[in-house]
């Protein structure tokens, strides 16, 4: 039985482990933390529980497929709740509440501008057509330039608008700021601004509106826990608190992984789920690399980072499940962010899952998650010195928008800055959304699913095709399942 080593028990590594174990491989997953999930694991502060990373779950058909191929049923392994509304979008002059109901959304836009209802309807119809055409592209690897000329790719070109950005494409439907920003803030899931992100990514808000958003009881981290349970049930080996120190390579063939005690565990195939640039710069000798040598990786483009607050609040909070509070000058904020500058006028995301999930905190209390998109570590900003300033900014914004003073009710608190993402989570430059998703780093220009440097190495996660975000990370594992026979 061939031996497979997987580095990292994040969503991609766990999904890959499940699928390859079902295929009959002898699979071992090595995870440096005491808990599975990587950047999407559960963290606990006293009696409060949080998702460390992602909180948006959409397009669950891909995740269902991972479980189904492995012999399990997602909805029997975790408890899913479809959200309605999807989220509250708080602008300076109004709050826009969007739902999985297209007619309700159309009406909400019409209340802003009578012509926006028609613009939304046209946009929605176009995205449906686009999704149908690009889905086959996202489901297949891109091992070479020539794959750009596959029939499925050529068929999709007219609807992809490759030379437009998300912003410019939305503007062509209706040049109205609420409309554009409400359907483009999702570009930050990719660590980019709407005027930089390729227009293909207008499918992100469409997926939210069309297929819905979901909450998992206990947090999205419970998907990882479920995959780990199923993996072990199939006979997989899960080694927690076991970081990989180095990957041993000879003549373009991975021989095995070296652990912290310098013990080498051999393998026939290696799957890397670690942050891509971190993996290349920390786990491999530069002499073994060609295309992704350390100095070359420095010249790649990376996503923005996030500054996080996890708060245990000893009272119920009348806040939505998902809320975006937009900065006063959102365009200016995006320009600063993409220029690696720290704006004084930030946008923030507030997640209040305790409103519908009693498992995250004791009765009458709330686990609150707050995220600020900020520059990554290449900015040179010392975020540790900015923690209190950003902390007070968050409190003032929530007081301004909701007349709630959080500080007196805090029982537990944790801050994560870009420096923490880099040093604690092994995220290169703290760029939590991985390599940026410009056209120069997508498809065959992104690190390949069957990694081009070594004959028996494969990649899963946000650093390979199709890219960052939970659905595409799960899809990278499905692509792996298709190409490993």
Whether the CA torsion 429, 434, 435, 437 is positive or negative: it is: negative
Contact 81, 57 (CB under 8 A): no
Q: Please, what's the largest Cα pairwise distance for the chain? A: 68
Q: Whole-angstrom Cα distance, residue 47 to residue 141?
A: 43
Which parts of the chain have pLDDT scores under 70? none
Residue range 37-71, pLDDT digits in tens: 999 999 999 999 999 999 999 999 999 999 999 99
Residue spans per domain, the chain: 3-76+219-300+433-483, 84-211, 304-425
pLDDT value of position 292: 95
Domain spanning 3-76+219-300+433-483, CATH architecture: 3-Layer(bba) Sandwich (3.50)
CB-CB contact of 364 with 130 (8 Å): no
- Contact at 8 Å (CB) between 422 and 429? yes
Place of tokens 């992704």: 292
Structure confidence at residue 195 (pLDDT): 86
What's the pLDDT score for residue 255? Answer: 97
Q: How many helices (H) and strands (E) does the chain have?
A: 16, 20
């Amino acid at each position: 039985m061939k031996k497979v080593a997987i580095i990292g028990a994040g969503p991609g590594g766990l999904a890959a482990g499940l699928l390859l174990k079902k295929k009959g491989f002898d699979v071992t997953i090595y995870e440096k933390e005491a808990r599975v999930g990587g950047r999407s694991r559960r963290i606990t502060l006293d009696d409060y529980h949080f998702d460390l990373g992602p909180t948006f779950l959409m397009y669950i058909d891909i995740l269902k497929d991972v479980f189904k191929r492995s012999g399990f049923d997602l909805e029997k392994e975790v408890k899913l709740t479809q959200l309605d509304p999807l989220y509250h979008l708080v602008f300076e002059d109004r709050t826009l509440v969007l739902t999985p109901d297209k007619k309700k959304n159309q009406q909400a836009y019409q209340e802003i501008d009578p012509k926006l209802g028609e613009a939304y309807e046209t946009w929605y119809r176009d995205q449906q057509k686009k999704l149908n055409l690009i889905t086959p592209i996202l489901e297949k690897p891109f091992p070479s330039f020539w794959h750009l000329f596959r029939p499925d790719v050529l068929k999709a070109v007219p609807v992809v608008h490759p030379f437009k950005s998300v912003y410019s494409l939305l503007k062509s439907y209706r040049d109205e700021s609420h409309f554009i920003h409400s359907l483009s803030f999702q570009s930050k899931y990719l660590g980019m601004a709407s005027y930089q992100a390729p227009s293909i990514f207008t499918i992100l808000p469409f997926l939210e509106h069309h297929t819905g958003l979901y909450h998992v009881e206990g947090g999205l981290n419970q998907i990882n826990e479920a995959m780990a349970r199923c993996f072990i049930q199939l006979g997989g080996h899960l080694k927690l608190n076991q970081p990989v120190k180095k990957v041993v390579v000879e003549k373009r063939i991975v021989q095995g992984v070296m652990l912290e005690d310098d013990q080498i565990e051999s393998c026939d195939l290696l799957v890397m789920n670690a942050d891509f640039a971190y993996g290349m710069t920390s786990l491999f000798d530069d002499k073994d690399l060609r295309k992704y040598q350390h100095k070359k990786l420095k010249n790649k483009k990376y996503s923005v980072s996030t500054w996080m607050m996890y708060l245990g609040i000893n009272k119920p909070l009348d806040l939505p499940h998902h809320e975006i509070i937009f900065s006063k000058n959102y365009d200016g904020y995006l320009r600063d962010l993409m220029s690696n500058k720290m704006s004084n006028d930030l946008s923030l995301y507030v997640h209040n899952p305790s409103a519908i999930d009693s498992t995250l905190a004791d009765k009458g209390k709330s686990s609150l998650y707050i995220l600020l998109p900020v520059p990554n570590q290449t900015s040179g900003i010392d975020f540790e010195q900015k923690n209190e300033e950003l902390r007070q900014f968050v409190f003032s914004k929530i007081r301004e928008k909701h007349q709630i003073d959080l500080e007196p009710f805090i029982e537990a608190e944790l801050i994560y800055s870009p420096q923490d993402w880099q040093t604690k989570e092994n995220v290169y430059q703290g760029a939590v959304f991985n390599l940026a998703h410009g056209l120069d780093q997508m498809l065959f220009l992104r690190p390949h699913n069957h990694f081009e440097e070594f004959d028996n190495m494969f990649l899963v996660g946000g650093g390979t095709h199709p890219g960052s975000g939970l659905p595409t990370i799960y899809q990278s594992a499905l692509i792996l399942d298709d190409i490993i026979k």
